[in-house]
Amino acid sequence: MKLLLDSLLSSYSELKNSIPIEPNCQFGKNDVVELIDKLRSLLFPGYFDDEYAEVLLEKVKRLLLRLLAGKKEQENKEESVKLVMDFLTKLPKIRASLATDVEAAFDSDPAAIGKEEIIISYPGIYAISIYRLAHELYLFNIPMLPRIMTEYAHSVTGIDIHPGAQIGEYFFIDHGTGIVIGETTVIGEHVKIYQGVTLGALSTKGGQSLRGKKRHPTVEDNVTIYSGASIFGGDTVIGKNSVLGSNVFVTESIPADSKLSIYDRPIKRKSQKYWYYEI
């Protein structure tokens, strides 16, 4: 046992640059899950918790203060209190955006019995609600916490939305499993996407040198993207009112009012590698 312990201690020292011994994050996953649950109870009162809003707000405030201040709670207390209160004032705005997302889901899905069913059971609404919360924290330049929140939603729903993405109102995700939305993605209003869609970076070979650069596509208003479609590149723009069919692979901009799909006859060759087909 002593040999094993010595070997582990040695690895702690040797690998400390790859696996930091003292992470900057002073909280655990369970704390983040608790925060998500309480925030969603505030966003959807009566659905997930019977506590009064005043009680929930106080609990969320205390939990956020602990998460943000960490070991330096006293040193950063004044700054943390302001940050927490600034974030909490965003909750009505987040609820307003989520209301449009629920409306979009109900209007778009004939299988939906009612909005209550959507709020309680739809993975798309679950992932979007956590994204909208995490995105506001991301805008405050809070490290780690927003990403941990959206990755938890990813683990639960199979929907991976980076908190840095910019997503407009009336956003509808149907089914959802396998969806990836990258950090610098921009999505307009009234956009619908289905399972297996990727809004990704064209290449990640540049690694950390690409940080802060626009790597993911822009999807304009009133676009529908069907299952399995892959859209890549920071310069790629999907024009408004367009429809992308299942399994298309897009690395170039598509003009407004376009229809794009894999079809049995080629309409136009766009490059040496890819064929674009019209519905």
- 153 & 195 share domain: no
Last residue of a domain, one of 159, 174, 199: 159
- Which residue shows structure tokens 């969603």? 40
Q: pTM, whole model, 2 decimals?
A: 0.87
Whole-angstrom distance, CA of residue 184 vs CA of residue 165 = 5
- pLDDT score at 77: 74
- 223 & 138 share domain: no
Instruction: Give the residue with greater pLDDT, 52 vs 69.
Output: 52
pLDDT tens digit sequence for 136-180:
999 999 989 999 999 999 999 999 999 999 999 999 999 999 999
In a domain? residue 2: no
- 95 & 114 share domain: yes
pLDDT tens digit sequence for 74-116:
456 778 889 999 999 999 999 999 999 999 999 999 999 999 9
- 174 & 146 share domain: no
- 38 & 105 share domain: yes
- 48 & 83 share domain: yes
Contacts of 131 (CB under 8 A, 6+ apart): 150, 153, 161, 163, 165, 167
Report CA dihedral (222, 135, 89, 127) to the nearest 10 degrees. Answer: 70
- 155 & 170 share domain: no
- 90 & 187 share domain: no
- Number of structural domains (the chain) is 2
Amino acid at 113: I
Q: Residue 240: how many CA atoms within 13 Å on its side-chain side?
A: 5
Last residue of a domain, one of 109, 141, 159: 159
pLDDT tens digit sequence for 240-278:
999 999 999 999 999 999 999 886 455 555 544 444 444
CATH number, residue 78: 1.10.3130.10
For the chain, the 3-state helix, strand and coil shares in percent, each to the nearest 5, are 45, 15, 45
Domain of 51 in residue numbering reads as 26-159
pLDDT tens digit sequence for 177-229:
999 999 999 999 999 999 999 999 987 666 666 677 899 999 999 999 999 99
- 42 & 153 share domain: yes
Q: Which residues of 197-228 are buried (b: 16+ CB within 10 A; e: fewer)?
A: bbbbbeeeeeeeeeeeebbbbbbbbbbbbbbb
- 142 & 37 share domain: yes
Last residue of a domain, one of 125, 159, 193: 159
